[in-house]
Structure 1
């Protein structure tokens, strides 16, 4: 709430949406990460995303408020080309998409680390005993059904069901978050094209920012397309998403 209040007060004092420099952009990015952290909690769903969003929000906010960006703390007057409503639409959509795509990519990277790390112990012995005591017969049957299902997949077999369950949740969360981020990125690029045409008379100029945004869009389009192939779900698509993280 404090970040929201800060953004609103800065918007009122400056007369324009607070996205005119790196400092304001980082504050907005930390706000977007916090929103991503809050949504699953509101829905009361199991939130694996918080392991990514919490440290990301703290680090982004910490860097923004550090002494490195002191000269940018003061709001400045926008140049005429930036005095447009498309500034708010384009930049806010791009930052929201980058925040979302970064979280989704980090979830995919976590999936890869867990799947390929040897001797990974997810639960202590005490916790495993408690879980085994609370198992019902139907849950044991479900465990063996999952284990037999793994044999029919192209992925390596996992040492235990807990590891499989965690990686499945990470894969599901990653796909949902990246799908949202890709939609926001597409909207942001389209808004930027309209804004560029109004300001400079051309929808696309292939400058470094536009080119990099297009590369990012292409990588995540490949990721979403790979999800349509059952043989590419999981590990293979996670590799593509991890490449997207490096691109961003």
Structure 2
């Protein structure tokens, strides 16, 4: 009971702080004169990270296994992963706008996890035999970390496309004045920053995804006697890996960088959600442990 109460408190604290962080970012977009709001949002994400960490550790202690056995736990881990991505540049003293992506992503995933749709999964349960393996931590954690990084990178690419379209539209309507050139210079810098951060985050996510797929193949061979069986989850994981491999390939060609690579990453955003969440909605295949169908039985 104590563990459940502590988990409940930490969930609501982290959810509330993320909501405040998003409000702060909306204020900074409208009122640039307020000093210290950006630092407050960064500290808010830091507190959120520790709250979700405490929540996951509490659930780990109570259940006796890494909290990655169902859809609710994976969504909470995904929210924690978004916070992790935010913390990396924060501790390296690199100024960035990642919180504009990670904060809404974290509140969306955590809000869905704590909604009534996943109520039956809120209670910790004993792992099914197939999940009682040392590969659970390696495979599932790497996959969810890759989803978080790839989703953030893809959203940065979407923002990049929107910014490019906006700049091109402004150039078509206005003449080349010195003031316009000055503003376009700063927009060009922002576009380069978005492109650079998108590439870095997606590259990190691609590494996690590769490790997750390889470790999953080894685990599948131990559990089911086959490294690869073209299960729906495996198939969509392969499609996801292929899409972002194409993205990384386009980055090596200067003629395909920018808009073309951003379009590929934007497509990858939809593919990730199909792989991560869409397959679970169907409740089919060997990876159906966390689906709605199983939890309603």
TM-score (norm 2): 0.69
2:104 maps to which residue? 55
Q: 2:268 aligns with which of 212, 219, 244?
A: 244
2:184 maps to which residue? 160
Per the TM alignment, residue 159 of structure 1 is displaced from its structure 2 partner at its CA by: 6.8
Per the TM alignment, residue 83 of structure 1 is displaced from its structure 2 partner at its CA by: 0.3
2:95 maps to which residue? 46
Pairs within 5 Å for 1:170-185? 170-185=194-209
Q: Answer with 5-14 or 99-108: which moved more.
A: 5-14
Q: 1:115 aligns with which of 151, 164, 188?
A: 164
SS of equivalent residue, structure 2 residue 255: helix
Per the TM alignment, residue 61 of structure 1 is displaced from its structure 2 partner at its CA by: 1.2
Per the TM alignment, residue 41 of structure 1 is displaced from its structure 2 partner at its CA by: 1.2
SS of equivalent residue, structure 1 residue 215: helix
* Higher RCO (CA 8 Å, separation ≥ 6 residues): 1
Pairs within 5 Å for 1:107-146? 107-117=156-166, 118-119=169-170
Pairs within 5 Å for 1:63-212? 63-117=112-166, 118-119=169-170, 160-212=184-236
**Residue 233, structure 1, aligned to residue 278, structure 2:** no
Moved >4 Å (runs of 4+): none
Larger radius of gyration: 1
2:51 maps to which residue? 2
Report the aligned-residue RMSD: 1.6
Q: Name the CA distance, whole Å, in 2 between partners of 1:206 and 1:66.
A: 32
Q: Name the CA distance, whole Å, in 2 between partners of 1:39 and 1:87.
A: 25
TM-score (norm 1): 0.83
Q: Name the CA distance, whole Å, in 2 between partners of 1:232 and 1:49.
A: 24
Q: Name the CA distance, whole Å, in 1 between partners of 2:244 and 2:230.
A: 19
Per the TM alignment, residue 178 of structure 1 is displaced from its structure 2 partner at its CA by: 0.3
Q: Name the CA distance, whole Å, in 1 between partners of 2:107 and 2:205.
A: 20
Per the TM alignment, residue 3 of structure 1 is displaced from its structure 2 partner at its CA by: 0.9
1:217 maps to which residue? 241
Q: Answer with 15-24 or 62-71: which moved more.
A: 62-71
- In structure 1, stretches of 5+ residues that fail to align are 121-131, 133-146, 148-157
Q: Name the CA distance, whole Å, in 1 between partners of 2:96 and 2:120.
A: 37
Q: 2:76 aligns with which of 3, 27, 30?
A: 27
1:18 maps to which residue? 67
